[in-house]
A and B are shown apart, each in its own frame.
Chain A
Amino acid sequence: MPHLKVDRVSKVYKVGAFGGKELLAVRDVSFEVQPGEVVSLIGESGSGKSTIGRMILRLLPVTRGAITVDGVDIAQLKHKKLKGYWRTTQGVFQDPFSSYNPIFKADRIFRLVRESYFSSVGSAEWKSKLAASLEAVSLDPGQVLNKYPHQLSGGQLQRLLIARALLLDIEFLVADEVISMLDASTRIDVLNLLGDLKARGLGIVFITHDLSLGNYISEKTVILRRGAVVEMGATDKVFGNPQHPYTKMLLASVPQLHSKWEELDPQLKAQITELAGSQAADRPYAEAGRAVLPADRDGAELVEVEHDHLAAPV
């Protein structure tokens, strides 16, 4: 069984003129993804969720720690092996319109995959493969092939990108805010599509800022704040019995359809205002300067609240 493990990963960015400052974007994050499960990384902007996704895809190097697939550190992969890794792990990103080159037709993305991965596959076989992957994302080939990106809707473009990933023999998919740009009436269908892929045995890292989406689709949830995990575990446990005040605040801030903000528990409300205040006081790059990487086994370890549910101590 393939099995993706993020093990005590930290990431430092060089920022400022000539990279003179450092920004600790991810600190000491660990979680695992099994086939057939969706793990949500939930956090606000600047929480490091997208950085983690990009590190899993090996678009960014890891500063400390390791990301392993079946025990193999992906940082060690080179040339053919790296290409082999990308055959099994692919990403889909937020803005479908910027993922395509507007000068070329949208189905060029399939041709590029064929050129670099399936150059020996015959036309007929390729056609049936393409048809199968388009069917998996419920697209009608006649409607989407041979069209330019501007002729297709955001939902269709996003599905095409998922279909492109499916052409390869992928085991893991990193879905970074894939539906935040889509309209309400079509976004749920793309989300359900991720659910179908999960049923087919794919491991999905679902990155979102929207708690209700993470709650809807995922088995496991990781809540991030400023690069560190504040709470993680089985989704129903994290959402049903939140321990960390930050998780409670996020949950209480989500606009609900059937209960109003005013009906919140006053004690929780005060806590939220306090946290939101400290949040607002943070300037971007407040942590710039020389970043201090957490030493081994140092600082806030997560505490087990119940089975399959960890939270950072307050």
Chain B
Amino acid sequence: MSLLVDDLKVYYRTLAGDVRALDGVTFAVGDGEIMGLAGESGCGKSTLGNSLIRFDTRMRYIGGHVTLDGTELPIWDTAGMDAYRFDHVSIVPQYAMSALNPTRKIGAMTADLLRARGVSAKKAFPELRRRLDLVGLSDDVLDMFPLELSGGMKQRTVMVISTLLNPSLLIADEITSALDVSTQKAVSETLVGFRDRGFVKSLIVITHDLAILYQIADTILVMYAGRLAEKASGETIISSPRHPYTRLLISSLPEVGIRYSEKKLVGIPGTPPGLLDPPQGCRFRDRCPLASKKCLEAPPFVEVEDGHHVACWEEAA
């Protein structure tokens, strides 16, 4: 097992109180596994990604453990994580466009970054050029300013730079959301290519787009309101989901071929609960067609089939 996350709790400090963005999350990512992390905005998926690499000042570590390749990561300690960041855990941020320094050429900026990690730029540059070539970018990119690159090119450049030190775990946070469909496909396939070539050992791909995850992920983890709802292989999540939230979510997605005039899709009524003072018990209760008295108690995240975990009383029974 490459990554083990055990009962991780991360809250946001606000004037009104703690926002329970991540409320007890337990899962594992195996070697060579691409795990997709899906959910609506505010479900805690980006908080989970960020907490594995760097706590921002508003985030507060409440409890839980994260183990990567047998070593426990001091995720609560920003300085202590320096030893692991980019060498062991790396991230491709949501807005790669703004992750690049606009006043430095790509090559100079990469050299700065390498120096900060104590790696000689001279030694690393041939590999950098090789990898840029792999994602379809020429050497000229190194002499360009970020302004001169298109969105997809910037995204691929950031992907190459953040995996240059062969981290064990890469977190890709909504990296395809701002891209066009054809670029989206190229970028997603590049991610899979990085795993196949061993640039990264395992990947967590965070997105709200289940269709993309179905294309590239080995397993999909669905989150709802700061908790885990369901985890299974991509195929299982899409074709035989068991959590009512996953089921309703998938049935509300329009696909090429479904027409309004022939088949009217429906959304999920209501909105997710606020996490400042989340309701007791199952957090999907208010929107769930199957909700019963039992749901006043929080359902455990249990394995219902081999490799298929669900947090729902209906399924656990």
Contacts and interface: CB of A to CB of B under 8 A. Distances in A.
Interface of A: 44-45, 153, 183-189, 191-192, 195, 209-213, 215-217, 235-236, 239, 249-251, 253-258, 260-261, 272, 275-277, 279-280, 282-284
A175 to B, nearest CB: 14
Interface string B107-151: 000000000000000000000000000001000000000001011
Contact of B254 (A185, A191, A276): A191
A211 B7 CA distance: 40
Contact of A195 (B40, B183, B264): B264
Given A255-B214, A284-B150, A184 B252 contact: yes
Nearest to B144: A283
A211 B260 contact: no
Interface stretch (B12-20, B71-79, B204-212): B204-212
Contact of B214 (A44, A239, A250, A260): A260
Contacts of A254: 181, 211, 256
Contact of A283 (B148, B184, B257): B148
Nearest to B259: A216
B181 A261 contact: no
B172 to A, nearest CB: 15
Given A185-B249, A282-B150, A257 B255 contact: yes
Contacts of B98: none
B1 interface: no
B150 A283 contact: yes
- The listed residue with most A CB atoms (<10 A of its CB), out of B185, B239, B265, is B185
A261 B215 contact: yes
Interface stretch (B46-54, B266-274, B290-298): B266-274
A215 B253 contact: no
B5 interface: no
A97 B178 CA distance: 18
Interface in B198-247: 208-212, 214-215, 238-239
A183 B266 CA distance: 13
Contacts of B316: none
A280 B211 contact: no
B41 A183 contact: yes
A23 B271 CA distance: 43
B315 interface: no
Contacts of B250: 257
Contacts of A256: 211, 214-215, 255-256
